[in-house]
Structure 1
Amino acid sequence: MEPQETLAMVQGQAEIWQHMFSFVDSMALKCAVELRIADIIYSHSGPITLSQIASGIDSSSPDIPYLARIMRSLVRKNIFTEHHHPVEGGGETLYGLTQMSKWLLHEAELSLVPMVIMQNHPLLLAPWHCLGQIIKEGGTAFNKAHGYEVWDFALKNPDFNNIFNDAMACTAKIMMRVIVAGYKDGFGSMGSLVDVGGGTGGMIAEIVKAHPHIKGINFDLPHVVATAPLHEGVSHVGGDMFDVIPNADAIFMKWVLHDWSDEHCIKILKNCRKAIQQKSGKVIIVDIVVEKDSNDLFDEIRMAFDLLMMVHTTGGKERTELEWKKLLEEAGFTRYKIIKIPTIPSIIEAYLE
């Protein structure tokens, strides 16, 4: 074997090892969130020692050597910083926050903690072990792992339902900032807006807050809106988007259609058409648009989301522009416009005329 070929084989082997153990990164991340390491460092207003981190952990006897090894891994991934602080008789290592670990603060207004908790929960990891099975047999991975589809499972398990709702609410907050900035005057001309699949109403509440002239309606399944807090200018309505959607000037849907098959999406979009009260109305879809040769910050995440939909939903997927165009046309929307924003999804405006 030529030296160049040998080197390529070794590189290939190393990369397979890396992929094989990529779950270690997410488990270490979950550990950091569970132990509230970012919060402990943040509470000291600056870098702190390992023993200071240990003293902030909710335990009477934390294992310091284990903690040191977790911190070494998290520092290597740039989740925390590490630098040596010389003191008399030696020195000590101080650990600090990075731009990444600031997203792991439990009480921060913008935080990814609930999403880290949900995506790494054993209940949501189990279906990933069924990927090969669904390729061989069809069906849905979540159902094969748990005996229910994800929405039915949430209905029967209040604790899981709360974890799911918290994760959706945290992403709604993050997306809202980007959407309001990137969409500019998109909400300006409407008097009423329904957020279909709006969860506990965080998204529509932020839209109404930024545009007080809008009458906001948060629409989701009854067991979801049952846990929703009161939001000024927003009414909660329980129902099923496959049956009927409340009337409004415009419809808003964030990360809803990617959960469903084309047939289901067409049914939802047709119900949106029926719900729009004026011909100048529109549907505002916040969802991923897959681009084959794109190379921006969120590309890898978009591809991961496509497999996530395959594992956790019934026929859900991420779509290319061509696939979106086909869906919208079949549902009776004659025009659309894609607005790119600096986050995972894009904004797709669909018009009746």
Structure 2
Amino acid sequence: MESLRGQEQIWQLMFSFVDSMALKCAIELRIADIIHSHGKPITLSQIASGIRSNSNSSISPNIPYLSRIMRFLVRKNIFTEHQEDNDEVISLYGLSDSSRWLLRDFKSSLAPMVLMQTHPLSMAVWHFLEDYVRNSSNTFEKAHGCNIWEFSSANPEFNKIFNNAMASIVPIYMGAMLSSYKDGLGCIKGTVVDVGGGTGGSISELMKYYPNIKGINFDLPHVIATAPALDGVTHISGDIFESIPSADAVLMKGVLHCFSDEKCVKVLRNCRKAITDKKNGKIIILEIVLDPTSNQIFDETRMVYDLLIPLFSGGKERTELEWKRLLNEAGFTCIKITKIPIIPAIIEAFLV
């Protein structure tokens, strides 16, 4: 029996890519949105009608295969199914706690992140996993001829997909951060610079909760070029390895895991120089804190990121001890780590 279970696990791992492809298909067909628009569970034919309407096509969807997609995703608990027996048995499909995170027009949606992670350009990088183990070569560069930042700058379509994915997790991460870290943010009275802040969603959200804060959104030129005007937010472009705009506090989310320890220390030292309030100033980092022995919620996803990040950017995820060593080397002390109900944790460090 144990041998059969072992065999079954290999089969499941072999075909696990089908899970993400079926999820991608459901998002592209807007199945969750179609069900949500009816306000109740609906039939397969109603889902098919919604797909046809959304695509403005005269061609009817492949209903037999759509039924297989739905059967698969029901088994994966992405959608619900129950049957009504009137003159004939009809299946009705509804939203689950999982599929509600796929609604495209909702503020908190993981749909853009799914589409970015399952995009052919992203998936191509994973085919160089073995090469990375053997040679430690830049796998994104192997797949696309340059690193991810250069590629995003030169490819507006991918840049948009990437920025949309990053923006989609802003309300999720900031909601958890703001509710769990009120005291840590409420004491800031001056300027906060969001380093690697993308199109500015995070700092804008922060300023809504704390109107006394002045916000700077700092990122690469090609990112800032697509950033919308946001009330009270100053957009500044530049290079984090050169200098960072002056502020009373620095916020960084998912930036440092993109780089080696040596590069991180350089960025952190620039952050230290940028902090104008040497007595009360601090850096607030939102990053994964690895604990390979833990089995808490999101730990499996954290371990996936531990494989993903080196391939895409050459960086790495870090344990609590590794974070403390990194920050100490850059001149920060009084380091505090706060676990919050999302994938990353809050890492807070002071100058003294």
TM bucket (normalised to shorter chain) is over 0.9
Q: Which residue of 1 aligns with 2:302?
A: 302
Q: Which residue of 2 aligns with 1:152?
A: 150
Q: Deviations over 1:2-46 (max 9, x none)?
A: xxxxx2111111101111111000000000000000000001110
Structure 2 residue matching 1:335: 3-state secondary structure: strand
Superposition pairs of residues 1-353 of structure 1, within 5 angstroms: 7-57=1-51, 58=55, 59=57, 60-88=59-87, 90-190=88-188, 191-279=190-278, 280-314=280-314, 316-353=315-352
Q: 2 CA distance for matches of 1:36 and 1:251?
A: 38
Structure 2 residue matching 1:284: 3-state secondary structure: strand
Structure 2 residue matching 1:236: 3-state secondary structure: strand
Structure 1 residue matching 2:181: 3-state secondary structure: helix
Q: 2 CA distance for matches of 1:292 and 1:41?
A: 38
Structure 2 residue matching 1:99: 3-state secondary structure: coil
Per-residue deviation, 1:189: 2.4
Structure 2 residue matching 1:48: 3-state secondary structure: coil
Structure 2 residue matching 1:173: 3-state secondary structure: helix
Q: 2 CA distance for matches of 1:111 and 1:250?
A: 29
Identity of aligned residues (%): 61
Does structure 2 conserve the Cα–Cα contact (< 8 Å) formed by 1:212 and 1:233? no
Per-residue deviation, 1:278: 1.3
Per-residue deviation, 1:312: 0.6
Per-residue deviation, 1:243: 0.3
Give 4+ residue runs of structure 1 displaced > 3 Å after superposition. Answer: none
Per-residue deviation, 1:351: 0.6
Does structure 2 conserve the Cα–Cα contact (< 8 Å) formed by 1:26 and 1:120? yes
Structure 2 residue matching 1:338: 3-state secondary structure: strand
1:211 aligned partner, one-letter code: Y
Per-residue deviation, 1:327: 0.3
TM-score (norm 1): 0.97
Structure 1 residue matching 2:198: 3-state secondary structure: coil
Q: 2 CA distance for matches of 1:259 and 1:173?
A: 21
Q: 1 CA distance for matches of 2:217 and 2:264?
A: 19
Does structure 1 conserve the Cα–Cα contact (< 8 Å) formed by 2:194 and 2:203? yes
How many residue pairs match? The answer is: 345
Q: 2 CA distance for matches of 1:308 and 1:148?
A: 17
Structure 2's unaligned 5+ residue stretches are: none
